[in-house]
Amino acid sequence: MASLGPLFIVTAICISTGNAGFVVVQCSSENVGQYGQQSLLECVVRPTKDATDTQIRVVTWKKEGDEEALLVFHNGQTTLQPGYKFAEPSWDNKNMNVSLLVTNTAVKNAGIYTCMVVTNSGDEKSDIRLKVTAKYSVPVIHSRPEKITRTADGTLICDADGGYPQGEIRWFVEDKTDWTRSSKMEVTVTENGLLKLTSKLPLLHGSIFSKYTCVVYNASGGKEDEAIYKVQDRPEGQEGGRVLGAPASKIVAPVVVIGSLIIGLLLLLIYRRRNQQARRHSTAPLMRDHREVSQEEADYDRDNSQTTDKEFPGGQV
């Protein structure tokens, strides 16, 4: 759900200045409002048991430092400054609820207010301190240069705005180690009186962590929100020669191609080896038959030679 603006916590502290007569003005100690909506400063006139038929003659609301009153009721007429009015729409001089309504709370509304009431049974006034706080926006981290790696110096910058009063930005590395003392924070006042916090954290190569967290705290020390920045180990998302976050298809496809080539080469080698073995087996009988024929021819020539020598001694025919 979209927010209408920063959340303002309005705290009203009532400080009584004494009682003159038979009336007491009681104010709430704390009130809460939202920016762009109405904030209530609650005060009620309480007549004592000795007062009878109490009627209000004058009501005056004034803020310390302002010359003109914010609200005045006198002689049955009410005069108002823009942004202020009675909390009761149909208020009259018999209504003991004299609460002031701030119609659009802003930082400038912070301060001390005085409510003075005059009745037919006496008069009294009380001071109310109005405190205004605003929630800071979700922090945003950007870097210089745009891509920071562990091999070069850089700077992380964390911004959070729209808050009040001044809060703090803290840095943590690896989720637990406080690195705030190495940073420098600047505070800028915006046109509407709210504050912008900017914290710069320098990074030195050789001592750069993989994860940095920027946390925003309000003026009371409460954590409001955080942002996380992760440092790449290599440019272009590379680490140790491998690509970080590469799609599975880009990794599997080359593996399949290389595997197919290896299998093809193995099949080719097996095929060639089998062919060579087949040739050796096919030529072996022929060589054996040739040797047998040659041996028979040699035996035949030898036998013929011996017969001739016997029939024709001396070699003469």
Identify whether residues 190 and 125 lie together within a single domain.
no
pLDDT tier at 239, thresholds 50, 70, 90: very low
| Domain end position, chosen among 114, 134, 154 | 134
Q: Could you give phi then psi for residue 263, rounded to 5 degrees?
A: -65, -40
Whether 267 is covered by a domain: the verdict is: no
Length of the chain: 317
Whether 255 is covered by a domain: the verdict is: no
* Separation between Cα atoms, residue 136 and residue 87, nearest integer Å: 29
Q: For residue 84, what are the domain limits?
A: 8-134
Instruction: Record the tokens describing residue 48, joined without a space.
Output: 């004592």
Whether 119 is covered by a domain: the verdict is: yes
Identify whether residues 55 and 84 lie together within a single domain.
yes
DSSP state of 135: P
Identify whether residues 98 and 179 lie together within a single domain.
no
Whether 22 is covered by a domain: the verdict is: yes
| Domain end position, chosen among 208, 236, 264 | 236
Whether 263 is covered by a domain: the verdict is: no
Identify whether residues 14 and 127 lie together within a single domain.
yes
Whether 226 is covered by a domain: the verdict is: yes
Identify whether residues 150 and 100 lie together within a single domain.
no
Identify whether residues 25 and 103 lie together within a single domain.
yes
Residue 70 or 5, more confident? 70
Whether 210 is covered by a domain: the verdict is: yes
* Separation between Cα atoms, residue 181 and residue 172, nearest integer Å: 10
Cis peptide before 47 (omega within 30 of 0): no
Identify whether residues 12 and 124 lie together within a single domain.
yes
| Radius of gyration for the alpha carbons in the chain, expressed in angstroms and rounded | 50
* Separation between Cα atoms, residue 168 and residue 159, nearest integer Å: 11
| Domain end position, chosen among 134, 169, 200 | 134
Above 70 in pLDDT, residue 93?
A: yes
Whether 49 is covered by a domain: the verdict is: yes
For residues 164-180, give the mean pLDDT: 93
Above 60 in pLDDT, residue 292?
A: no
Picking from 55, 71, 52, the residue whose alpha carbon sits closest to that of residue 63 is 71
Cis peptide before 165 (omega within 30 of 0): yes
Instruction: Record the tokens describing residue 241, joined without a space.
Output: 């020669």
Which range (27-41, 148-162, 270-284) has the least confidence? 270-284
Identify whether residues 27 and 50 lie together within a single domain.
yes
* Separation between Cα atoms, residue 120 and residue 56, nearest integer Å: 7
Which range (52-56, 113-117, 120-124, 262-266) has the least confidence? 262-266
Picking from 310, 298, 137, the residue whose alpha carbon sits closest to that of residue 216 is 137
Specify the number of domains making up the chain: 2
Percent of the chain predicted with pLDDT > 90 = 43
Identify whether residues 127 and 178 lie together within a single domain.
no
* Separation between Cα atoms, residue 17 and residue 15, nearest integer Å: 7
For residues 309-317, give the mean pLDDT: 45
Identify whether residues 107 and 80 lie together within a single domain.
yes
Report the CATH number at residue 204.
2.60.40.10
Which range (157-161, 269-273, 312-316) has the least confidence? 312-316
Identify whether residues 50 and 34 lie together within a single domain.
yes
Q: What is the pLDDT of residue 24?
A: 84
Q: Which residues contact 133 (CB under 8 A, 6 or more apart)?
A: 8, 9, 163, 164, 165, 218, 219
Q: What is the pLDDT of residue 38?
A: 82
pTM greater than 0.85 (yes/no): no
- State pLDDT tens for residues 47-91: 877 777 888 999 999 999 998 999 999 989 999 999 999 999 889
Identify whether residues 121 and 169 lie together within a single domain.
no
